[in-house]
Amino acid sequence: MQTGTNSSGPILVTGGAGFIGSNFVLEWLRHVGSPVINLDNLTYAGNRENLRSLDGDARHIFVHGDISDEKLVGSLVREHRPQAIVHFAAESHVDRSIVGPDAFIQTNVFGTFALLQAARAYFSELSREEQKQFRFLHVSTDEVYGTLGPDDPAFTEETAYAPNSPYAASKAASDHLVRAYFHTYGLPVLTTNCSNNYGPYQFPEKLIPLIILNGLEGKPLPVYGDGKNVRDWLFVEDHCSAIRAVLERGRLGETYNIGGNSERANIDVVTTICDLLDELAPDPEAGSRRQLITYVKDRPGHDRRYAINAEKIRRELGWAPTEKFETGLRKTVQWYLDHREWVENVRSGAYLKWIETNYAGRTA
């Protein structure tokens, strides 16, 4: 087994003000405690409010910048000498990639390339002992594998890539670049491919927070197509613990699939949220939130089913999700109920314009 990162050295996290990245930073400082250099470009989905609890914490160093800025990344790694780079920064919303794929190619492909170049240069300057400790962990998605039929076996790390959206294609390209830098240059890389995340701080364009917030406000709850598209749902804190396990004990050059063992059809997710809202935030005048469900025109290239086989990470690293979907979803709904100020701060004019762009014109 390769020697992994130790618990004392700093790490560089890209995209650490986004949904998964900010949860990872908070969890890292809670469970590990070594310093985090947090590089984020603060696009629409990056939010400093996610990290407000770290104000004044000397272990968290926030840097506003772009992963495509190779000079900036180079200066950061040489100044702080991180023992690992954990790469979350990405454009990640399929619907946005359909409307405007350019940003996805720029960030996910060219941005990852620039980051790899900077990491390669930094790695070459490390001592032999420091090189043994260093890791470059690339966080990716199960969407690179394409779609599954209802009875197909779940995705494994050996499943052939077959991306069906510009988002998935851009992440597939970045995965291949990371693999190439291991085989060509010897950069000590690790890749994780996760299923759909949910939990606190998720930007409200994604399904679960969109349904929660629309349900609270009595707005239509848009469901694509027949609502039977299936996803495997992973609570974000479980994802963070899996990444820590891969960073510490993962075999160099390997890919690890991370799943929540929680396949659900979209319509079942929506109705469960409706019932939780009726319980936790009842509105006697409006009645059941299920009445708000509105079937809308499906999005182009909508993959029918994703499912993750996470046997490899369980077998090799001893990791398995601890949160059941029902309890995780309840925690998530309660978090949005308790953090309305955060919600209002992120629902800017740009967000409202996006919702109008994506959903206007979709007929039942």
What are 79-132's pLDDT values in tens digits?
Answer: 999 999 999 999 866 667 677 788 889 999 999 999 999 999 999 999 999 999
Residue ranges with strand state E in the chain: 11-14, 36-40, 60-64, 84-87, 135-141, 189-194, 196-198, 221-224, 230-235, 255-258, 263-265, 293-296
Out of 167, 181, 198, 336, pick the active-site residue. 167
Question: What's residue 45's pLDDT?
Answer: 75
CATH level 3 topology of 11-198+234-259+306-322 = Rossmann fold (3.40.50)
Is residue 1's pLDDT more than 50? Answer: no
Q: What percent helix, strand, coil does the chain show, rounded to 5?
A: 50, 15, 35
Out of 143, 237, 238, 303, pick the active-site residue. 143
- Residue 79: half-sphere exposure toward Cβ, Cα within 13 Å: 11
Question: What's residue 12's pLDDT?
Answer: 98
CA distance 272 to 267: 9
243: its two tokens: 């990444």
Amino acid at the residue 269: V
CA distance 145 to 159: 7
Looking at the chain, the whole-number percentage of residues with pLDDT higher than 70 is 92
Neighbours of 168 (CB within 10 A): 26
Domain ranges of the chain: 11-198+234-259+306-322
Question: What's residue 351's pLDDT?
Answer: 45
Mean pLDDT of the chain: 92
φ, ψ (nearest 5 deg) of residue 196: -60, 125
Please give the residue that has the higher pLDDT: either 331 or 352. 331
Q: Is 33 left (phi over 0), alpha (psi -120 to 50) or beta?
A: left
34 CB burial (10 A radius; 0-12, 13-18, 19+): middle
Q: Tokens 């399904």 belong to which residue?
A: 207
Q: Is 225 left (phi over 0), alpha (psi -120 to 50) or beta?
A: left
Confidence grade of residue 363 (pLDDT, cut at 50, 70, 90): low
DSSP codes joined into one string, 56-90: T-TTEEEEE--TT-HHHHHHHHHHH--SEEEE---
**What would the pLDDT profile of 131-189 be if each residue is shown by its tens digit?**
999 999 999 999 999 999 999 999 999 999 999 988 999 999 999 999 999 999 999 99
**What would the pLDDT profile of 296-336 be if each residue is shown by its tens digit?**
988 787 889 999 999 999 999 999 999 999 999 999 999 99
> Is 143 one of the annotated active-site residues of the chain?
yes
Question: What's residue 359's pLDDT?
Answer: 47
Out of 142, 205, 237, 263, pick the active-site residue. 142
Is residue 26's pLDDT more than 70? Answer: yes
CA distance 307 to 295: 24
Its pTM surpasses 0.85: yes
Amino acid at the residue 138: H
297: its two tokens: 């025109």
Question: What's residue 300's pLDDT?
Answer: 81
CA distance 31 to 23: 12
Looking at the chain, the whole-number percentage of residues with pLDDT higher than 90 is 81
CA distance 238 to 323: 7
Q: Is 135 helix (H, G, I), strand (E, B) or coil?
A: strand
Q: What is the mean pLDDT of residues 182-207?
A: 95
> Is 142 one of the annotated active-site residues of the chain?
yes
Residues 6+ apart with CB under 8 A from 338: none
> Is 91 one of the annotated active-site residues of the chain?
no
Q: Are 227 and 295 in contact (CB under 8 A)?
A: yes
Q: Is 40 helix (H, G, I), strand (E, B) or coil?
A: strand
Nearest-5° angle of CA 334, CA 338, CA 339?
A: 120
Question: What's residue 99's pLDDT?
Answer: 72
φ, ψ (nearest 5 deg) of residue 340: -65, -30
Closest CA to 160 of 255, 94, 245, 242: 255
